[in-house]
Amino acid sequence: MIDDTPIIGAPRAGHRTSRRQRASRNPTDAWLLWMFFGWLGLHRYYIGDWKKGIAMTLTLGGLGLWSLLDGFFLTRRLRRINSGRL
């Protein structure tokens, strides 16, 4: 016999979890992705900015300029994501 009682705390089918429930991002991983693959925008995919990640991939990081600027703002962006303030 199958038990149909829901698991407490599990998201229901078809419902997305909020960004606050998402696991925190490791700054070291984000920085390593930026250093080695920043021109492809892989750090953007990692932190959840997949739309900007696609744009960075298509433009090769804004020919390097956008990727370089991300290096100045990556720590602040990670702090905001990890604190739940997007």
Each residue's pLDDT tens digit, 12-68 = 555 555 554 567 899 999 999 999 999 999 999 999 999 999 999 999 999 999 999
In terms of C-beta distances under 8 Å and separation of at least 24 residues, what long-range contacts does 41-48 make, across chains too?
A: 41/67, 43/70, 43/74, 44/70, 47/77, 47/78, 47/81, 48/19, 48/22, 48/81
Instruction: Give the predicted TM-score (pTM) of the model.
Output: 0.70
Asked if residue 19 is part of any domain, the answer here is: no
Quick one: pLDDT at residue 85?
A: 76
Q: Please give the residue range of the domain that contains residue 65.
A: 26-83
> Residue 84: which pLDDT band, with cuts at 50, 70 and 90?
confident
Asked if residue 59 is part of any domain, the answer here is: yes
Name the domain count of the chain. Answer: 1
